[in-house]
Amino acid sequence: MTSDHKVVGSSPTSRANQLMDYKIFIGLTGMIILVSSWVPQTIETLRTKNCPLNLNFIILYTLSSLLLTIYSILIKDIVFTILNLLAFLQSAINLLVKITNAYKKS
């Protein structure tokens, strides 16, 4: 005896959507934490007009954030575009202060 009824929510498409939602949640959470990590440093840099971070690190981080922003735009992912743009802007502020201070000292 076979049954023709289906269990609600158990289709392959439904399972794939749940898995995708889970992946998106993990990605968004990681990006929000990453962007948020720059907030205290950027506030301190603006307040003291001094950036204690390593110049090479800031250059690499700023460049990678810029490239990820461009990539996010190209793939038309608005969430990651905004998050990467925020990461880029915060790291760029720190880079600008670091370079400005280096030129003032020389």
12-105: CATH topology? Monooxygenase (1.20.1280)
Distance CA 100, CA 104 (A): 6
pTM check: above 0.75: no
At how many degrees (to 10) do helices 78-105 and 12-48 cross?
20
pLDDT of 21-33, one tens digit each? 888 888 888 888 9
Higher pLDDT, 68 or 9: 68
pLDDT band at 101 (very low <50, low <70, confident <90, very high): very high
